[in-house]
Amino acid sequence: MNTELTHSYLEVNGLRYHLVSCGEGPLVLFTHGFPESWYSWRNQLPALAKAGYRAVAVDMPGYGNTDKPEAVERYNQVAISDDMAAIAEALGYPRFVSVGHDWGAPTAWHTALRFPDRVRAVVGMSIPYGGRAPGPSIEGFKRLFNDCFFYMLYFQKPGVAEKELEADIPRFLRSFWWSSSVEGKGGFDTSKVAPDKGLFDAMPDPEQLPAFIEQAEADFYQQEFERNGLRGPLNYYRNLDRNWELSESYKDATVTQPSMFLYGDCDPIPFVGGDFKRMHKNFPDLQTHVIENCGHWTQQEQPEVVNQHLIKFLNQLEQ
């Protein structure tokens, strides 16, 4: 089986996407999170190709070599999930498996919810889906974090986070990666950091990379973000309330397809807000697996374990 990575471009819904593909067979479409790129799936693509699948990872809008639309609202999950279904169709696959991590997990969940006849199975990592929230996020975050810093609120005003973080991309990346890795031991405490401070005030600099990423790999990410900036990636956070508003039409929908959720035992994020506890209500055919010695960067921290779970899950599906 040829496991060579092939780069290509495809235009759907007015955006030019960069795709990285490997293998032949049923389509598995990978969507990444923040601050990552298609490259976060570098260890999954050849493994799935060897197992008999066509593995395709995308640079999400705002990242890498995919277009970076100016309009903040273009980064909402309805538009993005429309794009994923259109990409699969353009590749010649009426049905596919959607796999996502971090911000890519909501993309996978939404694509499965909105295209039940197209998505034959779905896998999310690190970010659970507990159904549509009773209200929009931002006001709730403001009440909850009224007296202290919260990064999602800090990301809301265009230009503010960009100015701070783009001034030192290596510092931003190693701090963000470390804080949610197994070495970070559950994140960083911002309870004593004032709400008007910046991310670097709230997030200590570890002055080293976490064990899951080599310097050459970190250099790849650094070059991508220094070339493209962070406006596009941050725009996903600026659509939190818009995503809630747009989900009204499928608020009672459940994901009836075979589904799987993977999360690290040292990742606190899946347990914030109660979505994890509500998952089985929204996913009648759900498998969940905790990955040991793993933080938030699931497929990069424990690639072999993730690959084993993915291939076993995929091989159980009706072809």
Cα–Cα distance list, 212 to 23, 62, 169, 271 (Å): 25, 24, 18, 23
Per-residue model confidence as pLDDT tens digits over 181-231:
999 876 677 778 999 999 999 998 999 999 999 999 999 999 999 999 999
Closest C-alpha among 308, 228, 219, 216 to residue 262:
308
% of the chain at pLDDT higher than 90: 82
Cα–Cα distance list, 287 to 26, 63, 93, 214 (Å): 21, 30, 25, 31
**Residue 29 contacts residue 81 (beta carbons within 8 Å):** no
Closest C-alpha among 163, 289, 162 to residue 237:
162
The pLDDT of residue 273 is 66
DSSP β-bridge partners for residue 157: none
Reported as half-sphere exposure (CB side, CA atoms, 13 A), residue 145 has a value of 22
The pLDDT of residue 208 is 95
Work out whether strand 6-12 and strand 286-291 pair parallel, antiparallel, or are unpaired: unpaired
205 counts as catalytic = no
In the set 59, 102, 110, 309, the catalytic residue is: 102
Per-residue model confidence as pLDDT tens digits over 100-135:
999 999 999 999 999 999 999 999 999 999 888 888
- Is the domain 6-315 a CATH 3.40.50.1820 member? yes
The pLDDT of residue 251 is 86
189 counts as catalytic = no
The pLDDT of residue 186 is 61
In the set 18, 32, 101, 296, the catalytic residue is: 296
Walk along the chain (319 residues) in steps of 10 and give the mean pLDDT of each run. Answer: 90 98 97 98 98 98 98 98 98 98 97 97 94 88 90 95 98 95 79 90 93 97 97 98 93 93 91 78 92 96 98 90
